[in-house]
Amino acid sequence: MGNPIAGRLLAAGHALVVFDAVPAAAANLVERGARRAASPRAVAAECPVVFTSLPGPAEVHAVVEGADGLLAPGATGLVHVDLSTSSYEAVQALHATEAAAGIALIDAPVSGGAHGAAQGTLSVMASGDRSAYDAVRPLFDAFAANVFYLGAPGRGTIAKLVNNLIFLSGALLVQEGFVLAAKAGLGARELLEIVNASSAKLYAGMAPLFFGRNFDMTLFKLGIAEKDIALALVSARELGAPLPLAEAAGETYRRAVEEGRADKVFFATLETLERAANTTVEKLA
């Protein structure tokens, strides 16, 4: 996600200083005019605004508080915009740590995938200090079509987690229904026609994608989906909100990862459900 977002910022005329733990991952940005830095600290030394886009809380922590992290002497006044998906508690802790160092954190997770980033159509869910948000708000226009400001730190993170929780848990329910039908000998094509004429139509819009069975497509990896649900569940426990259905969904995603499907598309959970039921859902063209 970070690479196409950075590309959009470059295309909009912004000067970029970039760092990636894998230097080759930023080579295309350097070719387009971005300057390469040796560390996150070096980026912070040159830039008043730093964007991070990382896999999860552990990586964000390392980039901020590691030996060459953003918490460098003289970082006071920096605005840190974290586009990563994190947990509520992790964001709260990071906000406090950065505030003590004079850094304003805006947690601003995004939705829309790498394709949306490349097209500039992401949704941004931002929260944190209002004046810091107002200062960086124009930058979001380079890569987002929808930008929401949600107030106190952590609310943007919760909004992103809830969005993914609904999407990913709902996907499983559709898959489970079609697996049940397959077990009884009812074909996916026949069932989809019935569902589309009935009350479940609202939830089955992605059924043709799921049952096209292209589990190696580049869209949203199952391992990332499992991580996002896990972060939502951690946040729910921190806030004291029981989520029994989400817990069950998280278990299915965990099982799919354990079966070696982490690098497949998120709906490869279908294979895990089929394996458990000893059946296969008909492929839809």
Is residue 160 among the annotated active site residues? Answer: yes
What is the block-wise mean pLDDT of the chain (285 residues), using blocks of 10 residues?
A: 96 97 95 96 94 95 92 81 96 95 96 94 98 98 98 97 97 98 97 97 95 94 97 96 98 98 98 98 93
pLDDT given for residue 97 in this prediction: 95
Task: Find, among 81, 91, 86, 98, the residue nearest to 6 by Cα.
Answer: 81
User: CA-CA distance, 120 to 112, in Å (whole number)?
Assistant: 9
pLDDT given for residue 191 in this prediction: 97
> Which 3 state secondary structure label does DSSP give 73?
coil
User: CA-CA distance, 1 to 7, in Å (whole number)?
Assistant: 10
Structural domain boundaries of the chain?
2-152, 158-277
| Pair 149, 133: CB distance under 8 Å | yes
* CA trace torsion 118, 256, 91, 218 (10° rounding): 0
| Pair 172, 41: CB distance under 8 Å | no
Question: At the topology level of CATH, where does 2-152 sit?
Answer: Rossmann fold (3.40.50)
Q: How many CA atoms lie within 13 A of 185 on its CB side?
A: 0
174: its two tokens? 């559709």
Pick the CATH number of 158-277 from 1.10.1530.10, 3.40.1360.10, 1.20.120.420, 1.10.1040.10: 1.10.1040.10
pTM of the model: 0.94
| Pair 191, 178: CB distance under 8 Å | yes
